[in-house]
A and B are shown apart, each in its own frame.
Chain A
Amino acid sequence: MLLLLTWVKNRETVVGMEPDTLPKLLARNRILYSYRVALREKDLGIWQRTTWQEYWCHVRDFALGLKELGLSRGDKLSILGDNCREWLYADLATQSSAAITVGIYPTDVPTQVKYILENSQSTFVVAKDQEQVDKVLEIKGSVPNLKKIVVVDMKGLRRYQDPMIISFKDVEAMGAQISERGPELFEEMVQSTRSEDPAIIVYTSGTTGQPKGAMISHINMIAMIRGLSQILDFLHTDSFVSALPLCHIAERMFSLIFPMWAGCTVNFAESVATLQEDLGEISPTAFLNVPRIWEKMHSNIMIRMQDAVFFKRWIFRAMLPIGVKVSEFKLKKRRVPMLWQVLYGLAYLALFRPLRNQLGLLNARIFVSGAAPLSPDLMKFYHALGVPVRECYGMTEMSGISCMPPNDEIKIGGVGKPIPGVEIRIADDGEILQRGHSVFLGYYGNPEATREIMKDGWLYTGDVGELDSDGHLKITDRKKDIIITAGGKNIAPSELENSLKFSPYIKEAIVIGDRRKFVSCLIQIEPETVSHWAQNNRIAYTNYKSLATRPEVKRLIEGEVEKANTNFAQVERIKKFVILDKELDQDDEELTATMKVKRANIEKKFRDLIEAMYS
């Protein structure tokens, strides 16, 4: 009873409070939601829960431990590893100390890790496991600023004698002792955080050149979420599955900023390999992903359907068109006729409900695709299933999302209206300019790059687009990627590429044609689906290379290219293509950590192949 009374009393003090930094939001949530689940992580086959109260304690202990080790205002702490609860503890603990968090992709190779540690002048690294620790140890000689390596999972590290290594638990234990002596210490640290200070540095994936560290302040993040929450109303009952790397701004929003704002629950999958099953178990209420995953889910469905028994195949083929028809009504904002409603009900029970359940999308109400354009065909497919995917527009330099279509205004091919607080202007050459409180502070230690992107208070995005009559933004492409053929025709390669990638057999497509006679394309096949197709058609192969070079596969892809070509005008169509005989890889500098192709590198690397197509 007493507990309840104190809770009610505490609650009164925080209702109506406007916290202006993430740590202050955590302090508020701890009182508002104290015994609700904040985080879940599957461990040893069971979903382990962390309440807001426990969340607060972990952050407090870790922050005080770091302080004891010498982390102070303005210092940088890098986090290197897969998503887990400790990632967020470390992030918030750093921000509570008025220090700055830097996220590093767990897939980065040691030289990239070194670049970021050096560039950000990090004094601490939090590494998830042995794999990441090895990377840091390999390059620690060349980063003299580094003081400590804090390790989350000590498995396999028993023999390591390096005095820089300390376990996450030990740091927390140090902090717990301090907090016992001075219980108000951490509260004071949290209250002294300032909204205008930089909170995080996010390294942009860098499809060209070295990554740049974008400094984002508390006020940037709060401005973004304040605007966005007027369009997507997040509730404390919402839950997300943390799937993308946390160092990426999109996942930072879903796993950190939104939950801090609205008290939502974040779930961490057991491992990267079990993500799909864990998604099915959690069935999150909101789902944000990159087009690559939406494409992958689509091709998985198509392949499973090919293997299904006759009856299931028939259901799929008969019911999908009903969904397509109904979604067309909805997208045009017309009333769905009675007959179609009945048919849709039937299709829902027979196909859409079980399918969505399998995908873990049954309870979801918000579906977002971002970071790269999604093919319109794919969007239509998901809308037909009753999964109204919407595309949003955002960038690291805008602290995440800057355009998002409201619930009843989703358009295929459009990214919606600017969120409240963001102003958008189209420059004379078509470039999108933005301004608002969510515009970042600048690139860390790189004022030239900042001056290049920030002119007269406007952020020059480098994307080309247009606003339609409803005020919705439509993105054409990256400014530097637009192809001008020898005939003088402007072509946006991403439209063509997405149309190709809609095929379950095509994983990656790179359209080429700048200053050339015609448009051509490099294609990477999707090994899973193509090998499946090859087995069904009794085509022998040994490895990826032998599969990719089979003439039958070439004919298969030819058919897919033909299909994609029908959506485009004569001059835009792909006249020739080559299938790459290797898989594109991040380690070979062909992809960024977010799986975007590094166009310039690829064009350089496969120059001979490209020239052969044009000679």
Chain B
Amino acid sequence: MPLLEITGLSLHFGGIVALSDFDLTVHKGTVHAVIGPNGAGKTSLFNCISGIYRPTAGQIFFKGAGVSQLKPDQIAEMGIARTFQNIELFAHMSVIDNLLLGCHTKMTTGLFSAAFFWGKAVREEEQHRLEVERIIDFLEIEKVRKKTVGSLPYGFQKRVEIGRALAMRPELLLLDEPVAGMNVEETEDIARFVLDIKEEMEITIIMVEHDMGVVMDIADTVTVLDFGSKIGEGSPAEVQSNPHVIAAYLGQE
């Protein structure tokens, strides 16, 4: 059974067609890249999966269960985490607090014990803090763990955002342009992290990305979107030689 299966997905905003009759199958343990020109519908696809948009038609199955009618928090609880194209962190909170917030869906403490920080709340906090420290170690952000996020350089903020998604302990991670606006070195770091997330943490990844170098290097499968429809799919090499894809990216003669 594939981890995520999308069938006949369509999304319309009035007369505008963002996605039309789109199918996608993502297998466990892979890095699946979604590419396409600007406005092709990549982020709309992410918003459908994470429950922000309700699709006009079609079905999304996560581990065999339909999720297209669920709310974003319910989907998050099922094990789908995401990052955003533009950083959506709490700029005035510290890195640790931002990451702890990622653990929110896993917290079960009641109002009373949380308010007095007593009993189970303490134990749970300790356990989550350990989890957060492991992520800090993994993403190599020890240096900034106590800094407010707003004061950090862009590259670090991106890592913190990935960290927050990881703190949800997801099975499926959606990365929306993880290396946009980064220099060569930062890009290499993120690429390495993505591969480590796949292998060490055994998390499946769907990635929207414009940096073709990264996509070709680390993706197992690539899906190409254009004007809301799938125009190609396959291994990076296959997609690169697909005439439809070349036409969409470079224009037709």
Contacts and interface: CB of A to CB of B under 8 A. Distances in A.
B133 interface: yes
A44 B200 contact: no
Contacts of A273: 142-143
B220 interface: no
Contacts of B130: 44
A181 interface: no
A155 B133 contact: no
B142 A274 contact: yes
Nearest to A277: B143
Contact of B142 (A45, A156, A159): A45
A45 B145 contact: yes
A156 B196 contact: yes
Nearest to A154: B200
A271 B140 contact: yes
Interface in A136-158: 155-156, 158
Contact of B134 (A44, A158, A159): A44
B154 to A, nearest CB: 16
B77 interface: no
A406 to B, nearest CB: 38
Contacts of B73: none
A270 interface: yes
Q: How many of chain B's residues touch chain A, expressed as a range?
A: 10 to 19
A271 B140 CA distance: 9
Nearest to A159: B199
B136 interface: yes
Contacts of B196: 155-156
B137 interface: yes
Nearest to A275: B143
Interface string A228-271: 00000000000000000000000000000000000000000011
A271 B133 CA distance: 14
Contacts of B192: 156
- Chain A interface mostly: loop
Interface string B106-137: 00000000000000000000000010011011
A153 to B, nearest CB: 10
A271 B200 contact: no
Contact of A44 (B133, B140, B143, B195): B133
Contacts of B140: 271
A273 B136 CA distance: 13
Contacts of B200: 155-156, 158
Interface string A260-295: 000000000011011001000000000000000000
A315 B115 CA distance: 44
Given A44-B133, A44-B137, A45-B136, A271 B199 contact: no
Contacts of A43: 137
Interface string A32-76: 000000000001111000000000000000000000000000000
Nearest to A43: B137
B95 to A, nearest CB: 11
- Greatest chain A CB density within 10 A among B140, B142, B200 is at B142
A270 B200 CA distance: 21
- Greatest chain B CB density within 10 A among A43, A45, A46 is at A45
Contacts of A45: 133, 136, 142, 145
Nearest to B138: A155
Contacts of A155: 138, 196, 200
A371 to B, nearest CB: 26
Contacts of B137: 43-44
A260 to B, nearest CB: 29
Interface in B198-216: 199-200
A44 B143 CA distance: 12
Interface string B160-201: 000000000000000000000000000000001001100110
Contacts of A159: 199
A270 B192 CA distance: 21
A270 B146 CA distance: 14
Contacts of A156: 192, 195-196, 199-200
Interface of A: 43-46, 155-156, 158-159, 270-271, 273-274, 277
Shortest beta-carbon contacts, A-B, top 4: A44-B133, A273-B143, A45-B133, A270-B142
25 contacts: A44-B130, A44-B134, A44-B136, A45-B133, A45-B142, A45-B145, A46-B133, A155-B138, A155-B196, A155-B200, A156-B192, A156-B195, A156-B199, A156-B200, A158-B199, A158-B200, A159-B199, A270-B142, A271-B142, A271-B143, A273-B142, A273-B143, A274-B142, A274-B143, A277-B143
Interface of B: 130, 133-134, 136-138, 140, 142-143, 145, 192, 195-196, 199-200
Given A44-B136, A46-B133, A274-B143, 4 more contacts: A43-B137, A45-B142, A155-B138, A270-B142
